[in-house]
Amino acid sequence: MAEAEHTAPIQMEVQLNRAELPLLDSAQMLYAMLDLRSKEALNISRRRLNLALVIDRSTSMRGARIRNVKMAAMDLLETLQPDDWLSIVSFSDRAEVVIPPTPVRERRSFSSAIASLLPRGGTEIYQGLLSGLTQVERHASPDYVNHVLLLTDGRTYGDEELALHATQQARKYGIGVSAFGIGEDWNDVFLDTLARKGGGVAQYISSPSQMREVLREEIQGLSKAVVKSMSLRIEPLAEVHLSAAFKAAPYMELFPCDEGDKTQEIALGGLTAEEPIVLILELVVDPQEKEKKLKMLHLQLEAEDVHLQQEIQIPISLSPEEREPPARLFNFLERISVFRLQEKAWIALESGDAKQATSYLQAAATHLFDMGYRDLAKSAMLEVGRMAKGRTPTGRGRKKLRYGTRSLSIPST
Amino acid sequence: MTSKSSQVICPSCGAENLPGTLFCVQCGTYLPSGGPLRTEPIPDQEDEQSARPPRKKEGDAQARAISLEVDVTNSGRKVLLSAEREILVGRLDAAHGIFPELDLTTDGGLEQGVSRRHARIYTRDGTCFVEDLDSTNGTFLNGERLTPYLPYAFQDGDELMFGTMHISVRIHSESERQGSAVAPSAPDEADEADEASEEEALS
């Protein structure tokens, strides 16, 4: 089915839900599961880090939020190694470099700067992000994991496109971006897009006390990367279309597929030895006229010193071999289907179709309940109840569902 | 010669799906027919490869398990858990929002190969089920390794193993409580008030 080449620290395995496709006079759906795993054992030497911590210090951060951000920043210093580099940028309406890139061993200069952060002003993410990217770039080198960690609790207005563009540009220089939303008021769609373009993660911090753990975990993930930043090129061949691409693990994420351009480039971030990355591709195959071997996809995975290529084929047959879809693929699809329903609900709601949104969310709740995820099902029904009464869903409910359903497939290590 | 094909109509919402679609795009219902040329396998009670959770008919519920007494063999720790809600078995990982009801971190979970999201235990119509969540080192019921994502029914006194960690489970059931929830109902205002106060506490 597939030909892999090169000896790389990564292996890419592809599984389809069918062994053969029936010969049909209409278009049909097929699913592919891509497993990206590290071949290396667990004892990989730690990567050195070159990070910028970009902290929102707008007025809304007053109180427990800024206190916890400061504690998390201090804790970060403990988690980092002496030869890691860190810079700290704070932003409100404008950005301020609190500490330029400095080796972490010079702890004392960090402590007083962190303590001096005062919440004041609005939220303009682009200013802060750009300054963070600039600081990382000053010390950027292939020997380091170069990454920006953005912490915010608010919405930015009018500068989203600039921020996304800057993130995309930075990827070309090997600088990644992760985003952490605190509380309920931040724009989840924007931070998700930002992190996706930055090859990082977007995470929901529902209580200030989670902040330390979340950052610590992120640092560990970055420093344990077997490969730093991967990008996957998916090229559907003639008679095949990519209708959707999802990351199923470590957490769910939808990659928007541009209609016009058939070939998709996906930024995948780093891969650790513990957590495989699983992608699910939804493919539409054109009507077929005769039995043959159909060349469907060409996959190309690029990372530092890694060039993997694979071509996926499937036989078209009048009497195709029937089999159950592999259980693992089936279960990812089941969870993705729920994740997708609730995503569709928010999109329908934004376009003003509350009835459709309610119906999607109700369907998601039913499946969550059926799968045994009662807490999430209850949250969904709570929002369905509000919408049925003509009220808008709560920010908390929406984030709980969006980030809760995407964690349904968190893999096990 | 090609086969005449038509769209797959979802039995639940009536939406049209392309042949081969596994979950209805409109309502998420599993479309087992999967397309015009697909033969429906005859349901086999013994077939454990089926990826669907076994379902019991309503009315089978005679007893309803309400709590589980879990005995972690190596640490000697005993935990009493309510089975009214799903129980996640694993190791705490706050960063990824993993808060297992049965957290085996302090029992040497990491060393004994317990995954962060290792397995889940839940009750349906009075029967307890354990489902491995594609854990690295597997879940075992009375020595038998479970196929990931398939629920297996277990009984009072059964021996479970997560990775290499042995656990025995006693089920305390209460037969007078009957009835099974078929679909979740919209929680009332009181629940909303709870959520709101929780929200205040966090900000």
Q: Are residues B28 and B104 in the same domain?
A: no
Say whether B118 sits in a helix, a strand or coil. strand
Q: What is the pLDDT of residues A324-337, one digit of tens each?
A: 888 889 889 999 99
pLDDT of residue B178: 42
pLDDT of residue A135: 96
Asked if A150 and A51 count as a contact pair (C-beta separation under 8 A), the reply is: no
pLDDT category, B58, cuts 50, 70, 90?
Answer: very low
pLDDT category, B50, cuts 50, 70, 90?
Answer: very low
Q: Are residues B28 and B82 in the same domain?
A: no
| B86 domain-assigned | yes
pLDDT of residue A137: 95
Average pLDDT for A348-361 = 93
pLDDT of residue A128: 95
Q: Are residues A216 and A125 in the same domain?
A: yes
Domain range enclosing A77: 48-223
Mutual angle of helices A211-223 and A64-79, in 10-degree steps = 30
Residues 6+ apart with CB under 8 A from B26: A363, B10, B13, B15
Domain range enclosing B113: 64-174
| A2 domain-assigned | no
Q: Are residues A215 and A352 in the same domain?
A: no
| A412 domain-assigned | no
Nearest to B187 among A363, A385, A388 (CB): A385
**CA B184/CA A362 separation, integer angstroms:** 10
Nearest to B149 among A213, A331, A413 (CB): A331
Average pLDDT for B37-59 = 38
Q: Are residues B14 and B89 in the same domain?
A: no
pLDDT category, B43, cuts 50, 70, 90?
Answer: very low
Residues 6+ apart with CB under 8 A from B196: none
Say whether A84 sits in a helix, a strand or coil. coil
Q: Cβ contacts (< 8 Å) between A411 and chain B: which residues?
A: 117, 134
User: How many domains, chain A?
Assistant: 3
Q: How far is CA A185 from the centre of its chain?
A: 20
| A1 domain-assigned | no
Give the A:B interface size as CB pairs under 8 Å: 181
Q: Are residues A299 and A352 in the same domain?
A: no
Q: Are residues A307 and A202 in the same domain?
A: no
Q: Does A404 touch chain B (CB under 8 A)?
A: yes
pLDDT of residue B96: 66
| A108 domain-assigned | yes
Q: Are residues A270 and A341 in the same domain?
A: no
Average pLDDT for A368-394 = 88
pLDDT of residue B190: 42
- Please report the ipTM that was assigned to this predicted complex: 0.82
pLDDT of residue B191: 43
Q: What is the pLDDT of residues B105-164, one digit of tens each?
A: 888 888 888 988 899 998 887 889 999 988 888 999 999 999 888 889 999 889 999 999
pLDDT category, A80, cuts 50, 70, 90?
Answer: very high
Q: Are residues B95 and B31 in the same domain?
A: no
| Averaged pLDDT score across all residues of chain A | 88
**CA A288/CA A279 separation, integer angstroms:** 26
Question: How many residues can be counted in chain A?
Answer: 413
Give the C-alpha distances (Å, rounded to integers) separating B86 from A46, A86, A195, B121, B167: 37, 42, 31, 6, 17
**β-strand A48-56 against A144-152: which pairing, if any?**
parallel
- Which one is predicted more confidently, A81 or A275? A81
Mind telling me how many Å the CA of A249 is from chain B's nearest CA? 12
Q: Are residues B82 and B151 in the same domain?
A: yes
Contact B134 A203 (CB under 8 A): no
Domain boundary pick from A223, A243, A263: A223
Q: Are residues B27 and B76 in the same domain?
A: no
Q: Does A241 touch chain B (CB under 8 A)?
A: no
| A265 domain-assigned | yes
Q: Cβ contacts (< 8 Å) between B97 and chain A: which residues?
A: 204, 403-404, 407
Mind telling me how many Å the CA of A270 is from chain B's nearest CA? 17
- Which one is predicted more confidently, A107 or A29? A29
User: In the predicted model, is pLDDT for residue A295 greater than 50?
Assistant: yes
Q: Closest Cα to residue B161, out of B130, B191, B192? A: B130
Q: Are residues B26 and B100 in the same domain?
A: no
Average pLDDT for A69-90 = 90
**CA A230/CA A267 separation, integer angstroms:** 6
Q: What is the pLDDT of residues A181-235, one digit of tens each?
A: 988 888 888 999 999 888 888 888 887 677 888 888 888 888 888 888 889 999 9
**CA A330/CA A203 separation, integer angstroms:** 26
Q: Are residues B170 and B70 in the same domain?
A: yes
pLDDT category, B81, cuts 50, 70, 90?
Answer: confident
Asked if A186 and A155 count as a contact pair (C-beta separation under 8 A), the reply is: yes
**CA A406/CA B7 separation, integer angstroms:** 29
| B153 domain-assigned | yes
Task: Nearest chain A residue to B121 by CA: give it.
Answer: A372
Provide, rounded to the nearest whole percent, the portion of chain B with pLDDT above 90: 22
Q: Are residues B7 and B71 in the same domain?
A: no
| A5 domain-assigned | no
Q: Are residues A59 and A153 in the same domain?
A: yes
Q: Are residues A76 and A197 in the same domain?
A: yes
Q: What is the CATH number of the domain that holds A274?
A: 2.60.40.3670
Q: What is the pLDDT of residues A130-185, one digit of tens each?
A: 999 999 999 998 889 999 999 998 888 889 999 999 999 998 888 999 999 988 88
Average pLDDT for A118-136 = 93
Q: Closest Cα to residue A295, out of A320, A318, A280, A314? A: A314
| B151 domain-assigned | yes
**CA A342/CA A376 separation, integer angstroms:** 11
Q: Closest Cα to residue A270, out of A322, A331, A226, A319? A: A226
pLDDT of residue A103: 94
| B187 domain-assigned | no
Q: Where are the beta strands (DSSP E) in A137-260?
A: 144-152, 175-182, 199-205, 225-236, 240-249, 253-255
| B201 domain-assigned | no
Contact B149 A218 (CB under 8 A): no
Q: Are residues B96 and B144 in the same domain?
A: yes
**Which amino acid, one-letter code, is at A320?**
P
**CA A410/CA A412 separation, integer angstroms:** 7
Asked if A47 and A80 count as a contact pair (C-beta separation under 8 A), the reply is: no
pLDDT of residue B97: 66
Domain boundary pick from A292, A317, A342: A317
Average pLDDT for A84-113 = 92
pLDDT of residue B185: 41
Q: Closest Cα to residue A231, out of A36, A411, A45? A: A36
Give the C-alpha distances (Å, rounded to integers) separating B131 from A207, A336, A388, B81, B86: 30, 19, 34, 17, 11
Task: Nearest chain B residue to A213 by CA: give it.
Answer: B95
Q: Closest Cα to residue B96, out of A205, A200, A371? A: A205
Mind telling me how many Å the CA of A225 is from chain B's nearest CA? 17
pLDDT category, B59, cuts 50, 70, 90?
Answer: very low
Mutual angle of helices A374-388 and A395-405, in 10-degree steps = 140
| A53 domain-assigned | yes
User: How many domains, chain B?
Assistant: 2
pLDDT of residue A261: 61
Structure tokens at A331: 């279960």
Domain boundary pick from A188, A208, A223: A223
Q: Cβ contacts (< 8 Å) between B11 and chain A: which residues?
A: none
